[in-house]
Amino acid sequence: MKRIILASNSPYRKALLERLGINFTCLNSNLDESILKEKIQDPQELTRQLALEKAKNIAKNHKEALVIGSDQVCHFKGQILGKTGNLEDSFKQLTYLQGHTHELITSYAIIDNNVEIVKTNITTLHMRELNDLQIKKYLSADNPIDCAGSYKLELNGISLFKKIETEDQTAIIGLPLLSLADDLISLGHTIPPY
């Protein structure tokens, strides 16, 4: 079976891909995302291009492998909200999002020899109205500074929302496993229990 590489050091994406029961390795793509983030304003196109470039960065040195790249952004009122990296900006982000509806846009790219597959999942999230104390307590519980939108739905972040609309819950965490599994099977890989 062909080697599979996940072009990411994200512990969340690694844990997700492990759920498919396949063997893979993780490599950091070392992609400088700033150029694409300055150039591309459309959030769907941005995540698609970032996912593809991450996969290409690994594939160029590992031509024998199937490479998976992924990217995710939070989109609200025409703005792209990424990972804040600190609690102060996460507080501002959640204050901005509270009481409103926004989108999480998650794309992945597969490169397998001359085959390129790029897919996108859009999740619509309806956040509850929150006060400053609730936001601070949440940030203290999950420390979501490394997540687009500043929340972790797989942990306490689920309590921030009143409704979530998506085709694939795993896309919220960073990698849409339902369509990814279908694509891997179509490329000849075995996904247990098949």
Closest CA to 56 of 94, 84, 79, 27: 27
Supply the pLDDT for residue 114. 87
Supply the pLDDT for residue 2. 86
pTM to 2 decimal places: 0.92
What's the rounded Cα separation, in Å, for the pair 47 and 51? 6
Q: What string of pLDDT tens digits covers the 194 residues of the chain?
A: 689 999 999 999 999 999 999 999 999 999 998 999 999 999 999 999 999 999 999 999 999 999 999 999 999 999 999 889 999 999 999 999 999 999 999 999 999 988 999 999 999 999 999 999 999 999 999 999 999 899 999 899 999 999 999 999 999 999 999 999 999 999 999 888 75
CATH class given for the domain over 4-186: alpha beta
Q: Which amino acid is at 20?
A: L
What amino acid positions are annotated as catalytic residues?
71
Query: Angle at CA 28, nearest 5°, toward 41 and 26?
Result: 120
- Report domain extents, the chain: 4-186
Supply the pLDDT for residue 194. 58
Query: Angle at CA 55, nearest 5°, toward 3 and 153?
Result: 95
Secondary structure class of 91 (helix, strand, coil): helix
